[in-house]
Structure 1
């Protein structure tokens, strides 16, 4: 027993001293690979280019034009764009000054309200209408540009500033290392000029919309350099380093086209099958044909051609002897047509980031609890896009430029510029799903100390100070209307 134990210990010491063979030495490398990375039979047809974030957007113009066409002619694309714009903007995202100076706050609110109707450089919309149009262009085209136009004092604006919305077409997908008028060392990528450290310093824009002219090639005479301080670019980057945006409908555009063509084909097939007509065929008589039959066969054409009969619903047409008519028998839409179309629109809605119920208005088999879950998830997505895209890329930059322009125009003092820039943006509040339950839940939260009353008011899109002031005015007005000597309720 002692010998066996001694031999086992000697063997273990020898194995410990022996060198360990690595996978490189044995020649057998361990395969730690995802199935999706293989190139076997299942993956052989999957071509996935390793394009960079900007090379991948080279088809930007084609996607943009096709998306616009779909939004014009396909109801599901139009409904998707409309639903996103409505939920992101509503009646407008309103700025609430955060200054503690009550008088300055009132002045800033009044000055903004006076300027908002004149915010559009085209003279069509107010500031909140510009938000809607910008969001629509962003969702449809993938991006929108906003040029800040400083005006002269003699133009008579409350604040000498206006905003001009520019479609994606106005900034061409131009790449150049040298260009007339561009500082040395800068480069142009996708129409955006950047300096040596990659900062955006200017945008190269067409003087006029290229879709309204005959411009086929980009030349320096067609473009104007707009400094980055005068331009804002709103888009949603999906990859680090991405310079231009791509439409929300890009992932589902092919499916949209296929579903639209299929639906049109079914509709046309049903229309043709509804053209029920009755044809009467008579036997060919023996002997010469009667004169009146010959006249019917020849018609009244001088050339003797047979008349062409247009098929109409309920038509009864007598044919000449020996003639026969055969019709194709197109199948009907099928019992699964409705369910098939519904499944297609579920995928289209998901590709656009929309609940199927909002895209189509189809609320079949949806309970109140399920609807609450669906809407809460969608509202989180809307809030993400409001606070990460619309507000920082459009609303706040315009507010900053507005504050500077207000000081230049003498509407506020230069020392008040920082206070004028500091605002809280208030999107339109979401409607209650269950008004009684939702209000009771908020009331309980405030009473339990989980939330402040001002937070609840601000979440509705209202200004807490303004609400308190209105409540005070209502109480004073009610007190003034109460007859003398009357007691309040509960006194």
Structure 2
């Protein structure tokens, strides 16, 4: 049985509407305005949002049509824009620096690994060691949005101690047109093949770069299936559904281009102001521009003034300075720095807009982003996979291997803004138990084992040479004299 009872509020409203229709109308309008005000502004339709068109497609659907266009425009901007090139360089130098140290725990393995990673034998192109290839991959990931690293097996007859090399490939090698169901029951999205569980099982790769000038082989333009076990796809996944990466500069590409155009326009305007010093007007037809070789002006040059006749008049040019040009340029560069993920000072080299404290705070935030890239992307996605590849190849050659130590990675040392303050802070932190010596050494780009070995060797040589330094805690903290120190037997 249905309940036909009416809520008291509705009864009140009906009574007001019957007795006082004008008041009821005002209440209704007020209620509608209240409900409208309670909604999200971004969800409303009106004058302010009339030109705001947003799609509800997946990350792959939105990238599908413009992925290569964004990548190509980002590369063009990096090639031709000083600030964009600087942004890529800053990112690469801070993430990789002079190289990320990888020291396997097993000494025999470490010896073979160092010989492979520090030589050209690791590079299929033969142009750089492992650190150089990682730096190339990082900068390409930042600029183009993604990069591929392929494992290349070598024959025993090729003469390599470890029969494996790596090859860094641009994302252009990935066949974006390969999208849709496949005959084997899998499906492709922008060149990546997935099984029924959504696991990437293969990549469809062009043997040569599609834009290579030597594309003389027809097979170069036919993509081939390469198992996922042979490919590292290094990209930043901004959305859960994304299977491809987009340039870090994508959000700022239009601003990079517009600011460059504005600078060019300002430069042309300044040149024109410098060229036109005086404008000559005359009533005589033979004095018109191009008709008189004596008084006419065919070309302009800075500081030019033409000779005039008795009937001619001269109006001097008064260039108008553009207002707030520098402020506008700085505002735009601040926006570019934010969009590129670096600080304004790093992008421009201009330190006048920051004091010591603000610059230090900016670096702290920036270094946090760099550490995220290092430990959340570069190490698990790239370095650990390369280590796994190498261990598989080394095992075939009978190299003794230890456990795969996930703590073997040491990032390059961070440059110090104030070395004395930083050292004192680290000293007090270690003394208070807030940091271990190992942690501090890792920040300096080395390890405790490497430090101990080097320190022991150094102390032994100093003792043999009868040299005492007051940097040793025994002299500075315990108050021992040099003679007493020399009586101490050297470290074996």
> TM-score normalised to the size of structure 2?
0.82
| Distance across 2 between alignment mates of 1:324 and 1:120 | 73
Partner of 2:94: 87
| Distance across 1 between alignment mates of 2:377 and 2:113 | 22
| Distance across 2 between alignment mates of 1:261 and 1:486 | 68
| Distance across 2 between alignment mates of 1:369 and 1:439 | 17
Which secondary structure does the structure 2 equivalent of 1:226 belong to?
strand
Indicate how the Cα distance of structure 1 residues 219 and 254 shifts in structure 2: closer, same or farther if over 3 A, else same: farther
Indicate how the Cα distance of structure 1 residues 475 and 214 shifts in structure 2: closer, same or farther if over 3 A, else same: closer
Partner of 1:441: 425
Task: Select the residue among 117, 134, 138 that pairs with 2:137.
Answer: 134
Asked whether the equivalents of residues 279 and 316 of structure 2 are also in contact (C-alpha less than 8 Å), the reply is no
Task: Tell me which moved more, 353-362 or 341-350.
Answer: 353-362
Indicate how the Cα distance of structure 1 residues 486 and 255 shifts in structure 2: closer, same or farther if over 3 A, else same: closer
1:280 positional shift = 6.7
Asked whether the equivalents of residues 281 and 318 of structure 1 are also in contact (C-alpha less than 8 Å), the reply is no
1:343 and 2:331 are equivalent in the alignment: yes
Partner of 1:67: 74
Asked whether the equivalents of residues 466 and 486 of structure 2 are also in contact (C-alpha less than 8 Å), the reply is no
Task: Select the residue among 125, 129, 149 that pairs with 2:128.
Answer: 125
Partner of 1:199: 199
Which secondary structure does the structure 2 equivalent of 1:332 belong to?
coil
Partner of 2:53: 47
1:166 positional shift = 0.8
Which secondary structure does the structure 2 equivalent of 1:487 belong to?
helix
Asked whether the equivalents of residues 281 and 320 of structure 1 are also in contact (C-alpha less than 8 Å), the reply is no
Asked whether the equivalents of residues 278 and 316 of structure 2 are also in contact (C-alpha less than 8 Å), the reply is no
| Distance across 1 between alignment mates of 2:122 and 2:10 | 69
Task: Tell me which moved more, 325-334 or 61-70.
Answer: 325-334
Task: Select the residue among 445, 450, 454 that pairs with 2:434.
Answer: 450
1:322 positional shift = 6.7
Asked whether the equivalents of residues 280 and 314 of structure 2 are also in contact (C-alpha less than 8 Å), the reply is no
1:462 and 2:446 are equivalent in the alignment: yes
Which secondary structure does the structure 1 equivalent of 2:185 belong to?
coil
Indicate how the Cα distance of structure 1 residues 214 and 432 shifts in structure 2: closer, same or farther if over 3 A, else same: closer
Asked whether the equivalents of residues 147 and 234 of structure 2 are also in contact (C-alpha less than 8 Å), the reply is yes
1:313 positional shift = 2.3
- Within-5 A mapping of 1:105-184: 106-116=107-117, 117=119, 118-178=121-181, 184=184
Task: Tell me which moved more, 245-254 or 444-453.
Answer: 444-453
Aligned length: 446
1:95 positional shift = 1.0
Any idea what the Cα deviations from partners look like across 1:155-214, whole Å, max 9, x if unmatched?
2223111111110111021243355xxx51011111001111111111011121111259
1:298 positional shift = 6.5
Which secondary structure does the structure 1 equivalent of 2:346 belong to?
helix
| Distance across 1 between alignment mates of 2:355 and 2:325 | 24
| Distance across 2 between alignment mates of 1:80 and 1:376 | 17
Task: Tell me which moved more, 318-327 or 440-449.
Answer: 318-327
Bigger RCO of structures 1 and 2 (CA < 8 A, at least 6 apart): 1
Indicate how the Cα distance of structure 1 residues 488 and 108 shifts in structure 2: closer, same or farther if over 3 A, else same: farther
Task: Select the residue among 52, 55, 63 that pairs with 1:57.
Answer: 63
1:252 positional shift = 0.8
Any idea what the Cα deviations from partners look like across 1:227-250, whole Å, max 9, x if unmatched?
100000000001112100000011
- Within-5 A mapping of 1:229-308: 229-277=229-277
Partner of 1:9: none
Asked whether the equivalents of residues 269 and 330 of structure 1 are also in contact (C-alpha less than 8 Å), the reply is no
Asked whether the equivalents of residues 145 and 234 of structure 1 are also in contact (C-alpha less than 8 Å), the reply is yes
Which secondary structure does the structure 1 equivalent of 2:403 belong to?
helix
Indicate how the Cα distance of structure 1 residues 308 and 380 shifts in structure 2: closer, same or farther if over 3 A, else same: same
1:360 positional shift = 0.8
Task: Tell me which moved more, 466-475 or 25-34.
Answer: 25-34
Task: Tell me which moved more, 275-284 or 143-152.
Answer: 275-284
Asked whether the equivalents of residues 142 and 245 of structure 1 are also in contact (C-alpha less than 8 Å), the reply is yes
Any idea what the Cα deviations from partners look like across 1:3-43, whole Å, max 9, x if unmatched?
xxxxxxxxxxxxxx996749999999977631211112222
> TM-score normalised to the size of structure 1?
0.82
Partner of 2:306: 317
1:73 positional shift = 0.8
Any idea what the Cα deviations from partners look like across 1:68-111, whole Å, max 9, x if unmatched?
111111111111111111111111112122x3xxxx3x222221
1:487 positional shift = 1.6
Indicate how the Cα distance of structure 1 residues 470 and 333 shifts in structure 2: closer, same or farther if over 3 A, else same: same
Any idea what the Cα deviations from partners look like across 1:376-414, whole Å, max 9, x if unmatched?
11101110111111111111100110011111122x14x
Provide structure 2 residue ranges, at least 5 long, that are not aligned to the other structure. Answer: 14-27, 468-480, 488-492
| Distance across 2 between alignment mates of 1:126 and 1:318 | 67
Asked whether the equivalents of residues 235 and 245 of structure 2 are also in contact (C-alpha less than 8 Å), the reply is yes
Partner of 1:487: 483
1:331 positional shift = 3.6
Partner of 2:386: 398
Any idea what the Cα deviations from partners look like across 1:424-470, whole Å, max 9, x if unmatched?
21110112222112112212222222222222212212021111011
* RMSD of aligned alpha carbons: 3.5
Indicate how the Cα distance of structure 1 residues 470 and 298 shifts in structure 2: closer, same or farther if over 3 A, else same: closer
| Distance across 2 between alignment mates of 1:307 and 1:365 | 49
